[in-house]
Amino acid sequence: MCSYPWHVSEDREGSKTATEILGWVSKATGQVQPVDAPVVACLACTHYGYRKDLFAAALADLGIEAKVVNPNESAVDDLFPPGEGVHHDAEVEFVTRYAIPPATVETLTWFLSEISPRTVAAMQHFVHLPDLF
């Protein structure tokens, strides 16, 4: 599903994204056998964490009780160990081989403006290197 992030990162309102997510979650869950064990849904694409609530709602709509895990939420702990009252100052630069469409920049700016203004500024002035890897 990670090859289809367009709605996730360009549909700020979220209705198209919710429909798309429900369709893909329905397809994915229809391909596995029901188990009598806890279900964990891992959002293993960077964009999906922005719509964690829509993934949880889609699973609930399908009658699946699941813990939805967003690896992005704990990634910062890999760089900066958590601590009460600890503040970390970091420079942010956004280098990508993918030219980010303006609609994506606008939507991600909306998602991230309160969380990380430095990330927003870096994304708005990203460095595009098509041959990066």
Task: List, for residues 37-70, the tens digit of each pLDDT value.
Answer: 888 999 888 778 888 999 999 999 999 989 999 8
- Asked whether residue 2 carries a pLDDT value surpassing 70, the answer given is no
- Asked whether residue 80 carries a pLDDT value surpassing 80, the answer given is no
Same structural domain, 24 and 66:
yes
Report how far residue 57's alpha carbon sits from residue 27's, in angstroms, rounded to the nearest whole number: 15
How much is the pLDDT for 3?
Answer: 44
Same structural domain, 74 and 102:
no
Spatial CA neighbour of 62 closest among 30, 33, 35: 30
Same structural domain, 13 and 56:
yes
Same structural domain, 22 and 42:
yes
- pTM for this prediction: 0.70
Range of the domain at 65: 1-81
Q: What's the pLDDT band for 34 if we cut at 50, 70, 90?
A: confident
36, with CB counted inside 10 A (0-12, 13-18, 19+), is: exposed
Task: Specify the 3-state DSSP secondary structure of 66.
Answer: strand
Spatial CA neighbour of 92 closest among 72, 115, 112, 121: 121
Number of folded domains in the chain? Answer: 2
Same structural domain, 74 and 17:
yes
Same structural domain, 31 and 76:
yes
Q: Which residues contact 9 (CB under 8 A, 6 or more apart)?
A: 47, 50, 104, 107, 108
How much is the pLDDT for 1?
Answer: 41
Which residue did the predictor score with more confidence, 62 or 32?
A: 62
